[in-house]
Amino acid sequence: METGRLEAFADGVFAIAATLLILDVSVRAPGAGLGQAVLHNWPEYAAYIVSFVTIGIMWINHHTCMRLIHAADRTFLVINLLLLMCIAFVPFPTNLIAAHLHDSGLRAAALTYGVNLTITALFFNLFWFYAARGRRLIAAGADPKLISGISRSYIPGAPMYGAATLVALLSATASVALYALIAFFFLLESSIFGGTPVADGA
C-alpha cells in the first residue's frame, strides 16, 4: 500500500528522533553531589520536554494530513523525506540550547534551533499543499471543510517560528521562551479543541 509504507517510515523517524533526545540528558557527578547535580540539570529536562512535544505535535499533524491523503507519487515521497530530514535534525539544536542556557552561547543556539524549526515548518507547508493543491493526492470522499481547515491552520507555523528566531537577535532568552510557548500552545490547542472522536478505520 503506497501510503502505508510512507507512514511506517515516517512513524519510525518521528519515534526515533523523539526518543534519541534522551541521549542528551545525562548527569555525571560524584555520589555526594548527585542530588544537587540532578536538580541543577533542569535545562536538559526542559529542552527534552519542549523538543519531544514539538516532534510529537508534528507527528500528530502528519497523521492528520495522512488521514486525508490516500495516494503518493515520487515527488511526494521526496518532499516527505526532506521533511523527515529536518525533524531528525532537531536533537542537535536542542542539545545546544540545553548546554548553553546559562552562558553567552544561547543566542547562537537559539538561532540554530529557530532556523531548523522554521525550515521544518516550510517543508510541512510544502508537504501539505503539494498534496492538497487541486486535491492532487486527497482521498475521493474527503470533506472540503477539513481540507481548508488544515490549510488555514498550517499557514501560521513558519511565520511564528521565523519571528521567534528573529527575536533571538534581541533576546536569546525571550526567543527560547517563545519556542516553549509555541510548543505548549499547539499542545493545548490540540487537546482542548480536539474535536470529535474518529472511529477506527475511518
**Residue type for position 38:** V
Backbone dihedral angles phi then psi of residue 143, each to the nearest 5 degrees: -70, 120
By CB under 8 A, residue 149 contacts a second copy: no
Alpha-carbon distances, residue 67 vs 12, 29, 104, 142, 198 (angstroms): 17, 47, 44, 9, 11
**Can you tell me which of 40, 73, 159, 185 binds a second copy, judged by CB under 8 A?**
73
Examine residue 141 and tell whether it contacts a second copy (CB under 8 A). no
Cross-strand pairs, 154: none
Q: How many whole angstroms separate alpha carbon 196 and alpha carbon 67?
A: 15
Question: Which of 47, 76, 121, 128: binder of a second copy (CB under 8 A)?
Answer: 76
Instruction: Give the position of cell 475511518.
Output: 202
Site string for a second copy, 10-29 (x = CB under 8 A): -xxxxxxxxxxxxx-xxxxx
> How far apart (Å, rounded) are the C-alpha atoms in residues 43 and 37?
12
Collapsed DSSP state (helix, strand, coil) of residue 3? helix
- In the region spanning residues 81 to 110, those forming contacts with a second copy, defined by CB under 8 A, are 81-82, 84-85, 88-89, 91-92, 95-96, 99-100, 103-109
Site size for a second copy (CB under 8 A): 94
Find the shortest distance in angstroms from Cβ 20 to a second copy. Answer: 7
Q: Does 72 bind a second copy (CB under 8 A)?
A: yes
CB of 30 to a second copy, least distance (A): 7
Judged by CB under 8 A, does residue 34 bind a second copy? yes
Of 75-83, 146-154, 157-165, 175-183, the window that binds a second copy (rule: CB under 8 A) is 75-83
Partners of 138 in beta bridges: 69
Q: Which of 47, 48, 132, 183 binds a second copy (CB under 8 A)?
A: 48
- What's the distance, CA 2 to chain centroid? 24
Binding to a second copy by residue 170, rule CB under 8 A?
no
Please report, as residue ranges, which positions from 172 to 201 form the binding site for a second copy (by CB under 8 A): 187, 190-201
Q: Which of 77, 142, 163, 177 binds a second copy (CB under 8 A)?
A: 77
For the stretch 167-194, what's the b/e string if a residue is b when 16 or more beta carbons lie within 10 angstroms of its beta carbon? bbeeebeebbebbbebbeebeeeeeeee
When the beta carbons of 30 and 144 are compared against a second copy, the nearer one is 30
